Structure 1
Amino acid sequence: MRLAGKVAIVTGGTKGLGHSVAQAFAKEGCRVVCAARRPDERGELPPLGAGDLAHHPVDVRDPGSVDALMRATYETYGRLDVVVANAGLSRPGPAERLTPEDWSDVIATNLNGTFLTVRSAIPYVERDGGGRIITLSSALATRVARGSSAYAASKAGIEALTRVVAVELAGRPVTVNCLSPGFVDEGMGRELARNEALWSYYGGKIAQGRAGRADEIAEAALFLAGDASSYVNGHVLEVNGGLSW
């Protein structure tokens, strides 16, 4: 029970990779708030305080909504130990045809949303002995793929933000790290794996010859959330099966 007695928030935690991380945390003794605009397919999740996995609405683009999430979680459970800034979306397409609206949607959710989540989490996570903040990047933050300009730019920004905040909080009881998955058979990655033309190209670039599993990414998140990572700070942990480009 690596997270026994702890409380965590996972934004974008009602579906895909975010929910897999939330479930893994709960199995290790953590009470987890799966925060998202809608319950989505996890509509059975109860409200705060009613179980190990609970749902609370949040729009990570809205500072007031993010602040309300942090406050409600702390007031309900009396502590907040781990925050995973996972909420994200993609609007693929060549830069010359990508609309300003699509660009803005990606940046507002992925990069601005991560900033607002981290910013709001700090004063809560550093109480009660300190804790962990984990951001989510992507292999595309450092590797060029056609049609990924908005998504790649947002994820590269998240990695830089993570390193800066880790340095700014040095000496305080909070670590800030980034988890960078490669191609995963969950969420957005599942659609890629189902596209035979794309997968025949990208799949061959993975040393292990397959997409990752959601539980493999969740295990890395557990490491960053737990005591075993106490001396890991400002780090981008790539979990991609040996992805070359």
Structure 2
Amino acid sequence: MLLKGKVAVVTGGTRGLGRAIAEAYAIEGATVVCASRRPGPADVDLMEFDQVDVADPDSAQRLMDRTVDRHGRLDVVVANAGVNHDGKVHRLPVDRWNEMVGVNLSGVFHCTRAAVGHMERQGGGRIVNVSSSMATRVAIGAAGYCATKAAVEMFTKVSAIELGRKGILVNCLAPGILDEGMGRELTGNDKVWAAYRSRFALGRPGSAAEAAQAAVFLAAEASSYVNGHVLEVNGGLLWA
């Protein structure tokens, strides 16, 4: 029960990695608000759903305010909501670029800004931003995703310095290829997986549950002197 008594908001919390983080937090004793644009299952004890569009600053603010109104506090925010649109730079539609910036980057800013006042009033809190191994590795056709995730990592480092004196620790989780979403598509294609498998030191992708345990660490007392850190969870990933 590493998070007993804590109240956590997880954006993008109804599926994939966000869902795994929400479940792990609930198992560790936290009351968890799974927030996303569309409803999803909340069938684990101490989990509930709330609707949010993180690209809208007012929506993000209402989410944090409602959480505090219902539960009296806000201890952890996991800014996990994200979108990805493939496309080389010269062919990527402007509206898809703008959506990635709005959700992946501005959404992290909006959630942080909306949470700070509540956390400061109660004496501190934790913010865990979710990046990707692609933040530091070139992937052809993924300029928007790579760029926004790289920006999230620098935003995390700056926020950590600015908010540390308020008792708010800000860190970043950067997962590699997981058995969810795009990762599942990769491993499910025998030809593609054969080309990628040699890049994994452990010979396999990670699980969402494994990455979620790192998110537990960043929210728990064990990480009380970890601030401004990007924690890569990729099993040893060679990216040529």
Q: What TM-score, normalized by structure 1, do the two folds share?
A: 0.94
1:232 lines up with 2:205 in the alignment: no
Between stretches 53-62 and 87-96, larger displacement belongs to 87-96
- 1:150-189 equivalences in 2 (<5 Å): 150-189=144-183
1:36 lines up with 2:30 in the alignment: no
Distance 1:170 1:184 in 2: 31
Q: Of 112, 122, 139, which residue of structure 1 is paired with 2:116?
A: 122
Q: Letter of the 1:166 partner, please give it.
A: A
- 1:19-30 equivalences in 2 (<5 Å): 19-30=19-30
Structure 1 consecutive aligned stretches of length 4 or more whose deviation exceeds 6 Å: none
TM superposition shift of 1:45:
5.4
What SS class does the counterpart of residue 127 from structure 1 fall into? helix
Match of 1:102 in 2: 96
Q: Letter of the 2:100 partner, please give it.
A: V
For the 8 Å contact 2:180–2:208, the answer to whether it is kept is yes
Distance 1:124 1:30 in 2: 17
TM superposition shift of 1:102:
1.2
Distance 2:130 2:202 in 1: 22
1:138 lines up with 2:132 in the alignment: yes
Distance 2:194 2:118 in 1: 45
Between stretches 3-12 and 90-99, larger displacement belongs to 90-99
RMSD over aligned CA atoms reads 1.4
What SS class does the counterpart of residue 166 from structure 2 fall into? coil
Q: Letter of the 1:19 partner, please give it.
A: R
Match of 2:17 in 1: 17
What SS class does the counterpart of residue 77 from structure 2 fall into? strand
For the 8 Å contact 1:17–1:187, the answer to whether it is kept is no
TM superposition shift of 1:189:
2.1
Q: Letter of the 1:160 partner, please give it.
A: M
String of CA shifts for 1:25-78, please: whole Å, max 9, x gaps.
0000000000001114x2x559xxxx5000000000111110000000001000
Q: Of 191, 195, 210, which residue of structure 2 is paired with 1:197?
A: 191
For the 8 Å contact 1:45–1:55, the answer to whether it is kept is no
Unaligned runs of 5+ in 2: none
Aligned sequence identity (%): 53
Q: What TM-score, normalized by structure 2, do the two folds share?
A: 0.96
Unaligned runs of 5+ in 1: none
Distance 2:110 2:43 in 1: 24
Q: Of 210, 213, 230, which residue of structure 2 is paired with 1:219?
A: 213
TM superposition shift of 1:129:
3.2
